[in-house]
């Protein structure tokens, strides 16, 4: 691939917002820089005509192969959110390619650009560049066909990965790619279609990898057959961040199939012929552990310290009456179904790793530093992940795999056990909230939300410690017309592994607020939906609430012990409402029987994928409010598997689930995390209305 200087570099950044480069190659390859402003996606700035060779390092790269495949190496990770399908749809739309001809492999870690998957930002960050990229490729393919057939380009059409002439002649994109690669100035527009002409975007579409998944062909890190990579597991201390005092590995090494025993900062790794041999040898290690730094503490102390760290509420407005609530949320495991797994092959002068990661560029840099290698000598292959929910923002297993491979002088496939994942994995921080609404004259005149959360202390950091936890921000969303809105946050630091969990602070902050909104409505004798309708500021939020309430038959007569509940949320440029119905005739064992959600996320690229994301957040809401959390007992996590970390099973999931997508032509907002607070709030509010109880500590079954 040769490199040339950008011909239009002098035009300056303002003209280059959506510039698409041509990468010199024997097949048509174009690239679009990421990180540009997606609000300009509709072609306000015309794309540059031609150009430039570039490296693909910082770009979204599209290639049309001679075999008539359209390949886009995606700088994001697929962890179940459906991003590969959404991007394939954007590409198929603008190229007029068959979806089945579009391939979206995940790009290896790069050294420049935006390769971060998180913050529900993938669709919104890719929507402009991906469509521009494909529209540019289409213009060149059409031009190449026009020259081949000696026809004016504007009479040609594209469909099904082919260019079609008025007389019916066709040419596949693959047959045109070599000549298209030489086109410098296309004869037709490179502008993406107006939304009114979208046939793929907005159409409910099945995942492009659905067949691979249902046949068992989809490969995750642990399924890879990297030559010589031996199964590896790690013995870890009984308490969080316990330290190794002594190790006797004689018995373990004497077992059949054991290749190596390697000390790590967080434990002792065993490399063996199979995972069966590795687990057996792990259990045969004789290790003395020193207690971890958290041993003096259990949940009760942590909770009381959190409560004490919540900033005090100032005096309420004179003459108002107060509606107050205090809420505690437990630690929660991410617990993706695929436990952390990484394959590493570390040599003296280079390293190659395979794992699912939301932050491959950080991972590559960190691994290079740890291994004492230049970044260019470290290759990180990004694999699909079996779930994430924020867990793969950090790359704990990859670090361990790299260290073990280096020490054992052999490739390894290192896997955390489920026990490791729950006992030593990262957690959504526990937090505590004190909320006060001040009411006067039948209105809320002030709304204060004080909170305190656990932060990961900076001392005692092992190699795996990279805290992604952020302190909650006071609620200043102004979602409701509640007069003076504000708050503050405090926190305590503990040496526990924490990590951002789907919807991050909103998962607890906004859930607690939605419970208080119901409390206010109750105190004022108002219906929860009617009260929200009159106090919500945003028309979009009001509209999703109205949709959920109508579709879910809000206010229908329900038998004793059962009830409906609602909640709303607005974030990532999107809005959502949730209506949940609960059967709490046995208050100790409530069942959410029905969930109706309505969302406005701007342009919904794949409504079927969006529905799936909302469904997932509904089950997250049910789990975190009713069932799933972690206890800390004297410095250790009490739970150790899905037997005691009670994430919802089928018998806890709603029998009926509906998602209503509000039609919108706006820019796509975020959707992956959006539904969590609304679902959690609706479940809690339904529980209150069904039982008359006022739950203040979550999950309820603690």
Partner 1 sequence: MRSYSFVLNGRPVTVEAPADMPLLWVLRDLLGVTGPKYGCGVGVCRACTSHLDGAEIQPCTVPVADCADRAVTTIEGLADGDTLHPVQQAWLDGDVAQCGFCQPGQIMAAAALLARTPHPTDADIDAIENVCRCGTYPRIREAIKKAAKNGS
| Contact positions vs partner 1 (CB under 8 A) | 79-82, 206-207, 209-220, 222-223, 225, 231, 256, 273-276, 279, 335-339, 384-389, 415, 417-418, 608, 612, 615-620, 623, 641-643, 647-651, 653-657
CA 20, CA 302: separation in Å to the nearest integer? 53
Cα distance between the two ends of the chain? 60
| Shortest Cβ 275–partner 1 spacing (Å) | 5
Torsion of Cα atoms, 299 then 304 then 309 then 315, to 10°: 140
Contact predicate 629/702, CB 8 Å: yes
CA 424, CA 419: separation in Å to the nearest integer? 8
Residues near 506 by beta carbon (within 8 Å), at least 6 away in sequence:
569, 571, 673, 676, 677
| Shortest Cβ 597–partner 1 spacing (Å) | 11
Cβ distance to partner 1 smaller for residue 431 or 611: 611
Cβ distance to partner 1 smaller for residue 333 or 508: 333
What is the bridge-based pairing of β-strands 162-164 and 170-172?
antiparallel
Cβ distance to partner 1 smaller for residue 219 or 484: 219
Q: How many CB atoms lie within 10 A of CB 651?
A: 8
Cβ distance to partner 1 smaller for residue 78 or 94: 78
Cβ distance to partner 1 smaller for residue 155 or 653: 653
Cβ distance to partner 1 smaller for residue 165 or 218: 218
Contact predicate 119/672, CB 8 Å: no
| Shortest Cβ 274–partner 1 spacing (Å) | 4
| Shortest Cβ 667–partner 1 spacing (Å) | 24
Query: Tokens standing for 362?
Result: 């950080």
Residues near 687 by beta carbon (within 8 Å), at least 6 away in sequence:
563, 565, 582, 584, 590, 625, 626, 693, 695, 700
| Shortest Cβ 447–partner 1 spacing (Å) | 31
Peptide bond into 699 cis (omega under 30): yes
| Shortest Cβ 311–partner 1 spacing (Å) | 35
DSSP 490-539: EEEEES--B---TTTTHHHHHHHHHHHHHHHHHHTT--HHHHHHHHB--H
Cβ distance to partner 1 smaller for residue 315 or 643: 643
| Shortest Cβ 459–partner 1 spacing (Å) | 32
Cβ distance to partner 1 smaller for residue 97 or 597: 597
Cβ distance to partner 1 smaller for residue 256 or 319: 256
| Shortest Cβ 404–partner 1 spacing (Å) | 17
| Shortest Cβ 464–partner 1 spacing (Å) | 21
Query: Tokens standing for 351?
Result: 């390293």
- What is the three-class DSSP state of 183? coil
Query: Tokens standing for 238?
Result: 């009984």
CA 208, CA 594: separation in Å to the nearest integer? 29
């Amino acid at each position: 691939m040769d490199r040339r200087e950008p011909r239009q570099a002098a035009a300056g950044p303002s003209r280059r917002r959506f510039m698409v480069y041509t990468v010199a190659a024997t097949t048509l390859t174009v690239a679009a820089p990421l990180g540009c402003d997606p609000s300009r996606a509709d072609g306000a700035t015309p794309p540059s005509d031609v150009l430039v060779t570039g490296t693909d390092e910082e770009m979204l790269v599209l290639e049309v192969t001679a075999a008539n495949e359209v390949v886009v190496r995606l700088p994001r990770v697929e962890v179940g959110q459906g991003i590969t399908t959404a991007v394939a749809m954007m590409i198929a739309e603008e190229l007029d390619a068959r979806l089945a001809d579009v391939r979206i492999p995940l790009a290896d870690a790069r050294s420049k650009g935006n390769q971060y998957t998180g913050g529900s930002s993938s669709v919104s960050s890719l929507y402009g560049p991906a469509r521009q990229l494909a529209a540019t490729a289409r213009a060149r393919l059409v031009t190449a066909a026009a020259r081949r057939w000696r026809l004016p380009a504007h009479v040609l059409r594209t469909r099904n990965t082919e260019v079609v002439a008025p007389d019916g002649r066709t040419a596949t994109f693959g047959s045109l790619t070599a000549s298209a690669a030489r086109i410098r100035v296309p004869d037709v527009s490179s502008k993406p279609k107006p939304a009114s002409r979208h046939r793929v975007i907005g159409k409910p579409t099945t995942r492009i990898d659905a067949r691979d998944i249902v046949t068992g062909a989809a490969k995750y890190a642990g399924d890879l057959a990297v030559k010589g990579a031996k199964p590896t597991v790690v013995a870890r201390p009984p308490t969080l961040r316990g330290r190794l005092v002594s190790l006797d590995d004689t018995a373990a090494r004497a077992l059949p199939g054991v290749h190596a025993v390697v000390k790590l900062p967080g434990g002792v790794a065993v490399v063996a012929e199979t995972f069966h041999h590795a687990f057996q040898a792990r259990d045969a290690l004789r290790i003395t552990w020193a207690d971890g730094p958290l041993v003096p503490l259990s949940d009760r102390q942590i909770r009381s310290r959190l409560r004490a760290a919540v900033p005090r509420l100032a005096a309420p407005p004179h003459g108002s009456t107060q509606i107050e609530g205090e809420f505690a949320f437990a630690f929660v495991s991410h617990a993706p179904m695929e436990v952390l797994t990484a394959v590493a092959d570390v040599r003296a002068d280079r390293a190659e790793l395979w794992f699912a990661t939301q932050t491959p560029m950080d991972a590559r840099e960190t691994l290079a530093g740890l291994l004492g290698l230049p970044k260019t000598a470290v290759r990180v292959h990004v694999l699909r992940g079996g779930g994430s929910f924020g867990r793969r923002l950090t790359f704990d297993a990859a670090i361990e795999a790299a260290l073990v491979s280096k020490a054992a002088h052999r490739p390894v496939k290192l896997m955390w056990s489920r026990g490791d994942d729950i006992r030593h994995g990262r957690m959504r921080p526990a937090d505590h909230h004190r909320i006060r609404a001040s009411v006067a004259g039948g209105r809320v005149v002030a709304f204060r939300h004080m909170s305190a959360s656990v932060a990961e202390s900076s001392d005692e950091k092992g190699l795996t410690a990279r805290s992604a936890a952020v302190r909650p921000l006071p609620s200043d969303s102004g979602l409701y017309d509640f007069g003076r809105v504000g708050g503050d946050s405090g926190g305590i630091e503990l040496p526990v592994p924490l990590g951002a969990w789907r919807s991050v602070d909103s998962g607890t902050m906004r859930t607690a607020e939605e419970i208080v909104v119901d409390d206010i409505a109750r105190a004022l004798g108002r219906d929860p939906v009617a009260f929200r309708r009159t106090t919500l500021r945003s028309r979009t939020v009001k509209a999703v609430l109205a949709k959920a309430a109508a579709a879910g038959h809000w206010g229908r007569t329900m038998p004793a012990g059962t009830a409906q509940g609602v909640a709303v949320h607005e974030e990532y440029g999107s809005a959502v409402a949730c209506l949940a119905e609960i059967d709490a005739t046995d208050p100790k064992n409530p069942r959410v029987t029905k969930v109706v959600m309505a969302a406005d996320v701007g342009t919904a690229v794949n409504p079927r994928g969006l529905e799936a994301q909302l469904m997932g957040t509904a089950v997250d809401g049910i789990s975190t409010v009713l069932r799933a959390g972690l206890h800390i007992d004297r410095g250790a996590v009490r739970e150790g598997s899905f037997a005691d970390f009670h994430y919802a099973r089928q018998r806890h999931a709603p029998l009926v689930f509906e998602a209503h997508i509000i039609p919108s032509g706006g820019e796509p907002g975020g959707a992956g995390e959006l539904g969590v607070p609304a679902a959690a709030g609706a479940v809690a509010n339904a529980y209150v209305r069904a039982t008359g109880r006022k739950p203040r500590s979550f999950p309820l079954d603690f």
